[in-house]
Chains A and B, each alone.
Chain A
Amino acid sequence: MYRARLFAIRHSRKFEWIYKRVEQVMVALDPVFAKIGYGRVERPIALVEQGIKTVLFDCKMCGQCVLSSTGMSCPMNCPKELRNGPCGGVREGGYCEVKPWMKCVWSLAWDGAARMKDGDKIREVLPPVDRSLKGSSSWLRVSREKAAKLREAREASRTAVAEAFPEARAIEPSSAPLAEEPASAVNREVLKK
């Protein structure tokens, strides 16, 4: 869907906004996904994600979506699958070296990024694609990542407490616990505040 892709890049700012909302929803749904099991929701969510993103962005399901850092122009549509900007072979008028009928994905990406609020993200050097993640849901990955970050922050504060009260930890380990807590033992209502 070349034309839909061009449309999405032309309206990169709107799509950036939508994408942020989708991300928030996915992060908020982490407890639900965790309860059902990420393994079980992987396939249905990946299918939905593929359907939507293929129409809008010509998504190739690399599993490591970086659209918001590439001006909403999917870099996997670049025949060289470049992740960090255009190659040196872009043709006159901004057409692709390998597929001359197509606009350069990266030339469009810089234009798209210029219209976005956080378009400067395009300046960051992105890592190579992990090919083993092909076909998996990027949305679920974001959800898991953000949730892990929250857990990490909580871990850090628990470690700090344990280190500040080493004697108490020695005599009453449960007063400054370090062992992993099962999700059911954590009061999420308290965490939200």
Chain B
Amino acid sequence: MSPSDYTDQVPVYAPPPEGHVSHSRLERVLRAGRFAVTAELNPPDSADPSDVFDAAQPLGEVADAINATDASGANCHMSSIGISALLTRAGYSTVYQISCRDRNRIAIQGDVLGAAAMGVTNVLCLTGDGVGVGDQPGAKPVFDFDSLTLLRTIRTMRDQGMFLSGRKITRPPQMFLGAAENPCIHPQDWRPDRLAKKVEAGAEFIQTNYIYDIPLFEKFMARVRDMGLDKRVYILAGVGPLASAKAARWMRSNVPGIHVPDPLIDRMEKAEKPGAEGKKICIELIQQIREIKGVAGVHVMAYRREHQVSEIILESGVLEGRKSRRRAAGPE
């Protein structure tokens, strides 16, 4: 095969649509004012591409974009860039996640160009969990960038067409820029200010960590609206089904940045079928979140419960009036 035989598999470089920064479907959905759904993919510990497609299948039916995590919890899995490239070629829309824990500025800027060339249109800039919580705690933590300097760097690459060194990029990466926020975690009083800083750094969409505490999230969103941030950034609230009371307690004490209120754990404890109860709670949370002004969508993180994602989203009713079949799939 000659190189030209592959060109129909990769996207052609072209300017983004009017009023957009990228060819991202997620960006189009959000800018059109529709309630967006994104879902997190559990990355395989395998080099077989079919494992990636199998994992994406239950998410693609309902999600506008699929997040490919970047060694989340500092555990090693298939890379985000690999998964994003595979899924993009299969017609899915993906969110390429970059954690600052594992790579320095040289590697990251190169990867951004590589990912964009392979058709990746969304990027989520993360600081990353410390190496100590992962499966290889002896690794060297890099943290050359933080999530904000990463955001600003990719924005500079995209809008100014140059690397952080000032060297010119002939064809800049066209990416819709995202960041994370964790509204229910200390210091709660300063979280909206931190969000403002992320917007200033370049964030165009936000995917939050798990929201299990609606009153706390409402308080956060009230501040966000007061600061006018909901008009400047699309906020997707993070949700996910709990598996059991035991799993919820384990998550709360072992995974950084997760807050599950006690009444919710009690409810899981008393449930006859914890799996079904977890799903029910998740649906209720989505419905409550949807009513909060300034929320642009939900981000479903159903670790090892991916099979429930489709039902959760469809039963929650957030997609009513929207075409729901294989929405993350199809040409960009």
Residues of A at the B interface (CB closer than 8 Å) are: 79-94, 97-98, 104, 106-107, 110-111, 123, 125-128, 131
Contact = CB atoms under 8 A, between A and B. Distances in A.
Contacts of B306: none
Interface in B151-184: 152-153, 164, 180-182
Contact of B186 (A83, A85, A90, A128): A90
A93 B188 CA distance: 11
A125 B200 contact: yes
Contact of A110 (B130, B143, B148, B193): B193
Most chain-B CB neighbours within 10 Å: which of A104, A110, A111, A131?
Answer: A110
B146 interface: yes
A2 to B, nearest CB: 19
Given A89-B257, A98-B132, A125 B148 contact: yes
Contact of A97 (B180, B189, B200, B257): B257
A88 B209 contact: yes
Given A84-B197, A98-B130, A127-B149, A79 B186 contact: no
Contacts of A131: 144
Contacts of A90: 185-187, 257
A110 B186 contact: no
B102 interface: no
B190 A93 contact: no
A77 to B, nearest CB: 13
B130 A97 contact: yes
Query: Would you list the 6 A-B pairs with minimal beta carbon distance, nearest first?
Result: A89-B256, A88-B182, A84-B148, A98-B130, A128-B149, A88-B257
21 contacts: A80-B101, A80-B127, A80-B143, A84-B197, A85-B190, A85-B193, A85-B197, A87-B257, A88-B182, A88-B257, A89-B256, A90-B187, A91-B256, A97-B130, A98-B130, A125-B197, A125-B200, A125-B201, A127-B152, A128-B105, A128-B144
A86 B194 CA distance: 8
B129 interface: yes
B275 interface: no
Contact of B130 (A89, A92, A104, A123): A89
B149 A79 contact: no
B127 to A, nearest CB: 5
Nearest to B180: A88
B117 interface: no
A106 B153 CA distance: 22
B196 interface: yes
B149 A123 contact: no
Given A85-B194, A110-B187, A128 B256 contact: no
A101 to B, nearest CB: 13
B306 to A, nearest CB: 22
A94 B130 contact: no
Contact of A82 (B127, B133, B182, B200): B127
A107 B186 contact: yes
Given A91-B256, A127-B152, A128-B105, 15 more contacts: A80-B100, A84-B147, A85-B148, A85-B193, A86-B194, A87-B257, A88-B127, A89-B130, A97-B256, A98-B130, A123-B193, A125-B149, A125-B197, A126-B148, A128-B146
B35 interface: no
Contacts of A93: 186
B151 to A, nearest CB: 8
Contacts of A111: 187
Most chain-A CB neighbours within 10 Å: which of B127, B181, B257?
Answer: B127
A151 B172 CA distance: 36
A98 B74 CA distance: 12
Nearest to B189: A110
B220 interface: no
B193 A82 contact: no
Nearest to B202: A125
B195 to A, nearest CB: 10
